[in-house]
């Protein structure tokens, strides 16, 4: 039986693919493409999946608690000028993201949240 081994860059895991199953994999990929409602989006997802470290970043984001995901989404939605975003990590491990134009939007968002919560 012919096999190909693939190693995960960050996890060190290896996955073996049997060459005998290649027709099944080909059929699976063909079905994914045939059933995709937005082919350009599918191609874009594939393109981005090849970006080093991006899949690990997505997995880490999806593992965050819902409140943390909401905060990160709100920040990036408010930070319209992506080139103005800066990031720093201090010695305690705190990550700080800054975007000058996002400040007013985020202040209003979080002040509104605080007024909605019971005292």
Residue 61 lies in a domain: no
**The predicted structure's pLDDT at residue 4:** 46
Residue 40 lies in a domain: no
Convert the pLDDT of each residue in 77-99 to its tens digit.
Answer: 989 888 989 999 999 999 999 99
Residue 119 lies in a domain: yes
Convert the pLDDT of each residue in 21-59 to its tens digit.
Answer: 677 888 888 888 888 889 899 899 989 999 999 999 999
**The predicted structure's pLDDT at residue 5:** 47
In angstroms, rounded to a whole number, what is the distance separating the alpha carbons of residues 103 and 37? Answer: 37
Residue 25 lies in a domain: no
**The predicted structure's pLDDT at residue 104:** 76
Residue 13 lies in a domain: no
**The predicted structure's pLDDT at residue 15:** 54
Q: Number of C-alpha atoms within 13 angstroms, CB side, residue 4?
A: 6
Question: In total, how many domains does the chain have?
Answer: 1
Question: Domain range for residue 95?
Answer: 66-119
Residue 14 lies in a domain: no
Q: Is 85 exposed, middle or buried (0-12, 13-18, 19+ CB in 10 A)?
A: middle
Residue 97 lies in a domain: yes
Residue 56 lies in a domain: no
């Amino acid at each position: 039986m012919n096999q190909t081994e693939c190693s995960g860059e960050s996890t060190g895991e290896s996955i073996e693919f049997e060459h005998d199953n290649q027709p099944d994999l080909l059929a699976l990929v063909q079905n994914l493409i045939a059933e995709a409602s937005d082919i350009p989006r599918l191609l874009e997802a594939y393109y981005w999946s090849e970006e080093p470290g991006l899949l690990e970043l997505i997995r880490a984001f999806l593992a965050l608690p819902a409140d943390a995901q909401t905060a990160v989404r709100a920040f990036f939605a408010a930070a319209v000028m992506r080139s103005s975003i800066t990031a720093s990590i201090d010695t305690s491990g705190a990550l700080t993201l800054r975007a000058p134009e996002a400040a007013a939007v985020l202040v209003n968002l979080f002040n509104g949240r605080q007024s909605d919560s019971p005292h």
